[in-house]
């Protein structure tokens, strides 16, 4: 087959340029312009190669002095020829360097994929961890767009939360990702004066609760999440010497919640769910809080201070993963009202978060 700029269809005579585009060659100026415009939006080769490099921990190996492709392949359990082709592609795109044939080293971008890099990016791209699995779900985006249902179900054969329950390693990775969320800082700096007992609803392993307890010696906490997650949370808080100030409720937050809390905290929970389910969660919190307790919501919002591009991407991600959505401040006000609550204070942050303080209407 000749790389002549097009492929002729023997029946209809139509000329196709798909293979020309694949090779980065064009038969006319219009195709060249289209290629330059679309490739940055459509290339899957480089993003997947970066994720494979992260999964194989190639940056860690290079940082440890393993640089020859044969050695990298042996240490990472890869095929040397295939690995060399992938690394050469990444080198052309500025990830890693090849100072001599078959020898690959770190550069500024490749260094970001080290497991011990403070940016923590490697885990987000690892195909065996939550971040990489989340991205793979987008291979079934067509399913979501056609049906309105999460792509995760089509990609992995089961709904998101059921998948986490059946795959403890990915669930642990998910917990770690949530613990590193920027929303944690916003809730930890909330005015906790007068609060004696906070109930962290859907609190994961208790990373946020730990921050609150450390900063407020007089507060006790209750961690509410599914049983396996709470078991991990019990260990997490025990390692920090805080389990003696905590109670643990391994349950769904769609069931009646423990009563007696002064504040029921929902951090990055409601965006996982559609409006009907989010309202149901808020009602459970309202029932448990009663007339005197408060419900505090911390989420991203689509108005002042937020990045519109990030907001749009996250809203699509939440739908693809679990059927949820990002919301604006007024959307959250509507959910609060539907749950029989009244928003007594709404504060937004420069980082694009909204903190909504609610009490019984």
SS3 of 25-93: CCCCHHHHHHHHHHHHHHCCHHHHHHHHHHHCCHHHHHHCCCCEHHHHHHHHCCCHHHHHHHHHHHHHC
Confidence of residue 353 (pLDDT cuts 50, 70, 90): confident
Lowest mean pLDDT among 12-26, 137-151, 310-324: 12-26
pLDDT for position 267 = 93
Q: Which residue has the higher pLDDT, 115 or 5?
A: 115
Tens of pLDDT, residues 266-305 = 999 999 999 999 999 999 999 999 999 999 999 987 654 4
Q: How far apart are CA 164 and CA 322, in angstroms?
A: 12
**CA dist 108 to 50, 111, 113, 117, Å?**
14, 5, 10, 11
Looking at the chain, which runs of residues are DSSP E strands? 7-8, 15-16, 97-100, 103-105, 197-201, 220-225, 246-250, 263-267, 294-300, 341-348, 353-360
The helix/strand/coil state of 143 is helix
Give bridge partners of residue 198 from the DSSP assignment. 221, 263
N- to C-terminal Cα separation, the chain: 73
More confident site: 32 or 358: 358
Cα separation, 47 vs 50, in Å, equals 5
Contact assessment for residue 302 and residue 343, using Cβ atoms and an 8 Å cutoff: no
| pLDDT confidence of residue 271 | 95
Q: pLDDT tens for residues 225-276?
A: 999 999 999 999 999 999 999 999 999 999 999 999 999 999 999 999 999 9
Q: Is there a contact between 221 and 244 (Cβ–Cβ < 8 Å)?
A: no
Contact 15, 7 (CB under 8 A): yes
Question: Where do the structural domains in the chain lie, given as residue ranges?
Answer: 7-42, 45-127, 132-176, 178-360
Confidence of residue 20 (pLDDT cuts 50, 70, 90): very low
Q: Does residue 120 register a pLDDT over 60?
A: yes
Could you check whether 45-127 and 178-360 share the same CATH topology?
no
Identify any residues that bridge with 345 across adjacent strands, giving them in sequence order. Answer: 357
Q: Which CATH number fits domain 132-176: 1.10.287.1350, 1.10.1740.10, 3.30.230.10, 3.30.2020.30?
A: 1.10.287.1350
Beta-bridged to residue 294, according to DSSP, are: 263
Which residues are paired to 341 by β-bridges?
Answer: 360
Of the ranges 21-30, 130-139, 184-193, the best mean pLDDT one? 130-139
Question: How many CA atoms lie within 13 Å of 302's alpha carbon, on the beta-carbon side?
Answer: 15
Domain 178-360, CATH homologous superfamily name and number = Vaccinia Virus protein VP39 (3.40.50.150)
Q: What is the pLDDT of residue 361?
A: 87
On whether the 45-127 domain is CATH 1.10.3720.10, my answer is: no
The predicted pLDDT at position 14 comes to 36
- CA–CA–CA angle 274, 277, 281 (5° rounding): 130
* Closest to 124 (Cα-Cα) out of 55, 43, 203: 55
- 162's CB contacts (< 8 A; 6+ apart) are none
Cα gap 113→61, rounded to integer Å? 11
Q: Is 142 or 7 the better-scoring residue by pLDDT? A: 142
Q: How far apart, in whole angstroms, are the C-alpha atoms of residue 100 and residue 322? A: 46
**Distance, CA of 296 to CA of 193 (rounded, Å):** 14
Q: Which residue has the tokens 């980082």?
A: 351
Catalytic one of 93, 197, 271, 301: 271
Q: Is the dihedral of CA 280, 286, 289, 293 positive or negative?
A: positive
**For 88-92, 144-148, 273-277, 306-310, which range has the lowest pLDDT when averaged over its residues?**
306-310
Summarised one tens digit per residue, pLDDT across range 162-197 is 999 999 999 999 988 887 765 556 666 688 999 999
Residue partners of 308: CB distance under 8 A and separation at least 6: 302
Integer Cα distance of 109 and 124 in angstroms = 15
Verify whether residue 143 is a known catalytic residue.
no
């Amino acid at each position: 087959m000749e790389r002549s700029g097009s492929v002729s269809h023997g029946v209809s005579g139509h000329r196709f340029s798909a293979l020309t585009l694949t090779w980065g060659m064009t038969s006319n100026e219009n195709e060249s312009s289209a290629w330059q415009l679309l490739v940055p939006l459509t290339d899957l080769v480089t993003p997947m190669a970066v994720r494979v490099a992260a999964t194989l921990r190639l940056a860690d190996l290079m940082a440890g002095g393993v640089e020859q492709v044969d050695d990298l392949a042996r240490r990472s359990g890869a095929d040397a020829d295939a690995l060399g082709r992938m690394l050469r592609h990444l080198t052309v795109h500025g990830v890693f360097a090849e100072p001599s044939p078959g020898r690959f080293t770190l550069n500024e971008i490749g260094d970001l994929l080290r497991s011990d890099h403070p940016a923590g990016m490697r885990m987000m791209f690892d195909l065996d961890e939550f971040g990489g699995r989340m991205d793979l779900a987008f291979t079934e985006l067509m399913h979501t767009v056609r049906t309105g249902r999460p792509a995760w179900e089509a990609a992995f054969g089961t709904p998101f939360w059921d998948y986490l329950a059946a795959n403890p390693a990915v669930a642990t990775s998910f917990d770690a990702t949530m613990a590193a969320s920027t929303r944690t800082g916003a809730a930890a700096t909330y005015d906790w004066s007068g609060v004696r007992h906070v109930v962290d609803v859907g609190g994961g392993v208790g990373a946020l609760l730990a921050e609150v307890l450390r900063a407020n010696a007089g507060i006790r906490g209750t961690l509410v999440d599914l049983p396996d997650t709470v078991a991990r949370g019990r260990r997490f808080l025990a390692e920090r010497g805080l389990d003696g100030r905590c109670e643990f409720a391994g349950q769904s937050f769609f069931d009646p919640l423990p009563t007696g809390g002064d504040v029921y905290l929902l951090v990055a929970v409601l965006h996982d769910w559609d409006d009907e389910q989010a309202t149901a969660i808020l009602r459970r919190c309202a029932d448990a809080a009663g007339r005197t307790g408060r419900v505090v919501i911390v989420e991203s919002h689509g108005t002042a201070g937020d990045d519109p591009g990030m907001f749009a991407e996250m809203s699509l991600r939440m739908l693809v993963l679990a059927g949820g959505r990002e919301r604006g401040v007024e959307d959250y006000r509507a959910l609060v009202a539907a749950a029989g609550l009244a928003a007594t204070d709404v504060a937004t942050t420069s980082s694009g978060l909204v903190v909504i303080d609610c009490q019984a209407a």
